[in-house]
Amino acid sequence: MIWNKEFETMSRKQLTLLQSKRLSSLVRKIYATNPFYKSKMDAAGIKPSRIKDIKDIAALPFITKDEMRTVYPYGLLACPVDNIVEVHTSSGTTGKPVVDAYTKKDIDLWGEVMARTLSMGDTTKSDRVQNAYGYGLFTGGLGVHYGTRKIGAMVIPISGGNTNRQLQIMQDFGSTVLTCTPSYSLYMAEAAKEMGIDFKKLPLKTGLFGAEPWSENMRKEIEETLHIKAIDIYGLTEIIGPGVAAECERQNMLHVFEDHFFPEIIDPKTQEPLPDGEKGELVFTTITKEGTPLIRYRTRDITYLSHEKCGCGRTHVRMHRILGRTDDMLIIRGVNVFPSQIEEVLLRMDGIEPHYQLIVERKGNLDCLEVQVEVNESVFSDEIRGLEVREKKIEHALHEALLISAKVKLVEPKTIARSEGKAKRIIDKRVI
Amino acid sequence: MNIQQISVFLENKPGRLAHVAEVLKNNSINIRALTIADTSDFGILRMIVSNPEQGYEVLKKAGFTVKVNTILAVEIDDREGLFYDLMNLCDKNGLNVEYTYSFVEQSSNKAILFLRIENSDKAIEVFSKNGYKLLTANEAKKI
């Protein structure tokens, strides 16, 4: 079902006109209201009057996550703080968090794009949406919440975790739509099997899954075990949260809601735009946001675009599911983890060498992170207890920093490879 | 009265113990007694060797995490019930034994108990007062 026929099936010509109009007014507004953006544009020698067409976007400077951090918390606002009604942030564990500040209109927009997303999974007013994304500063929970409210379906704001309760509520309330990370859905399926729950007998029909990479094989497994249609959704805090792009019922690449979020693919090295079908870094410009609009935000996600017509009737450009990252970010249980965060934690602990290795595995259907740390003589105690206390201490510090639990394993000194150019810090054994 | 024990941090993986033994062998260091404490991830190998100073140096050079620490060595007759007597004495005097292991001297019919006790000064006092023979560092090297 198409939620907003007018915009989602708009002709390319009209869409281009709309994007051009929206981009030029955004650039004018941001230049007048945001000193950070003004100085970026001045440095690049670009006056707002030069941006008339969506094609002119290539002249504008990029913005990176690191730059966003330098103006934390309110430096990216393009409106008075008083107009902000809600804020969300990234986990903020690589330093300062990245802030998304929403005006009333931005929240309406979020509801709109999430209503489109949910509709792609055939969610209607008569559905019951079990929302197992986390509620809080994380955007997943409330994004789905606002979209469900917009459609007028019933939202079950159960948030993440507590699998037994999830399954109980699912049976009692007759949930028809499930939203969570794809790996968590399989974890639930496993628990359900142990509890003797038969998904064929439940009214659950669709799952909208995102926040971590997954594959066609995983989709097949989810669809077979949960007896549902599994839809891939994409979003990121910096842009709006979930609701940036989603698969339609054809399940063939994700439509980008480009009347609001204009995508480009660039070569991450030369920063030159790449044509359809060529893999590169995904870049977004939020052409309608009021609170914290972004111009040419480099997502570090790698994918490609296709303007080919989709059988569903929607005209919006499609992106392939994310194929990788330009940095070393890992997504573990839906949470973004950078090796540098782990390094920072280890450097704060005394007696621990800054040599470490991360081993990520999928055990059952859950991602497990093991951090191997070299012990040195100053911490080595003759007693097991002393070493175990140290392991627990590091585990606790990592949990605080990463927001997910990691197992720490002490290893002998100099057993972790180093000095062979780039150290092999990450061993990702997951087969997704 | 304290004697020197070498502790080595070992990962639980094949070949690590052999490597320790090889290093000691190549340096003609004799192991008199040993014990391993292990968890699922790692173990601590504790040893009494003929030359602890040299043992420490060569193992360190070979890349191991090594520590020398002191424990007590008590000589008792190798007969039933005597270990109980010693433990009972510790208990009566509030001495907490963190770990212990032993070595039997076949020629003299004596046993040597190595003990790590929380309050080792008090232990020395209690043991001596009750007629136990504590080995000196030099004696321990010769066992």
pLDDT tens track for A284-318: 999 999 999 999 999 999 999 999 999 999 999 99
**Shortest Cα distance, chain B CAs vs residue A147, angstroms:** 47
Determine the residue among B42, B66, B99 to mutate to test chain A binding: the one whose Cβ has the most chain A Cβ atoms within 10 Å. Answer: B42
Smallest CA–CA distance from B117 into chain A, residue = A383
CB-closest option in B37, B39, B65 to A380: B65
Rounded percentage of chain A residues whose pLDDT exceeds 70: 97
Q: Which residues in chain A touch residue B9, judged by CB atoms under 8 angstroms apart?
A: 375, 380, 387, 410, 412
Q: Give me the pLDDT at residue A424, please.
A: 66
pLDDT tens per residue, range A164-218: 999 999 999 999 999 999 888 988 998 999 899 999 999 999 999 998 878 888 8
Determine the residue among A352, A382, A387 to mutate to test chain B binding: the one whose Cβ has the most chain B Cβ atoms within 10 Å. Answer: A382
* pTM recorded for the entire structure: 0.74
Cβ–Cβ gap A380/B37 under 8 Å: no
Q: Is B7 on the interface with A (CB under 8 A)?
A: yes
Determine the residue among A353, A412, A415 to mutate to test chain B binding: the one whose Cβ has the most chain B Cβ atoms within 10 Å. Answer: A412
Cβ–Cβ gap A377/B69 under 8 Å: no
CB-closest option in A383, A409, A414 to B63: A414
Smallest CA–CA distance from A383 into chain B, residue = B44
Full pLDDT tens readout for chain A, 432 residues = 999 999 999 999 999 999 999 999 999 999 999 999 999 999 999 999 999 999 999 999 999 999 999 999 999 999 999 999 999 998 765 668 899 999 999 999 999 999 999 999 999 999 999 999 999 999 999 999 999 999 999 999 999 989 999 999 999 999 999 999 988 898 899 899 989 999 999 999 999 999 887 888 889 989 999 999 999 999 999 999 999 999 999 999 999 999 999 999 999 999 999 999 999 999 999 999 999 999 999 999 999 999 999 999 999 999 999 888 888 888 888 888 888 788 778 878 877 776 788 899 988 778 899 999 888 777 787 888 888 888 899 999 999 888 889 999 988 887 776 544 445 678 888 876
Cβ–Cβ gap B11/A411 under 8 Å: yes
Count of pairs with CB atoms under 8 A, one residue in A, one in B: 48
Q: Is A380 on the interface with B (CB under 8 A)?
A: yes
Q: Which residues in chain B touch residue A382, judged by CB atoms under 8 angstroms apart?
A: 5, 7, 44, 46, 67, 69, 116
3-state per-residue secondary structure call for chain A: CCCCHHHHCCCHHHHHHHHHHHHHHHHHHHHHHCHHHHHHHHHHCCCHHHCCCHHHHHHCCCECHHHHHHCCCCCCCCCCHHHEEEEEECCCCCCCCCEEEEEHHHHHHHHHHHHHHHHHCCCCCCCEEEECCCCCCCHHHHHHHHHHHHHCCEEECCCCCCHHHHHHHHHHHCCCEEEECHHHHHHHHHHHHHCCCCHHHCCCCEEEECCCCCCHHHHHHHHHHHCCEEEEEEEECCCCEEEEEEECCCCCCEEECCCCEEEEEECCCCCCECCCCCCEEEEEEECCCCCCCCCCEEEEEEECEECCCCCCCCCCCEECCCCEECCCCEEECCEEECHHHHHHHHHHCCCEEEEEEEEEEEECCEEEEEEEEEECCCCCCCCHHHHHHHHHHHHHHHHHHHCCCCEEEEECCCCCCCCCCCCCCEEECCCC
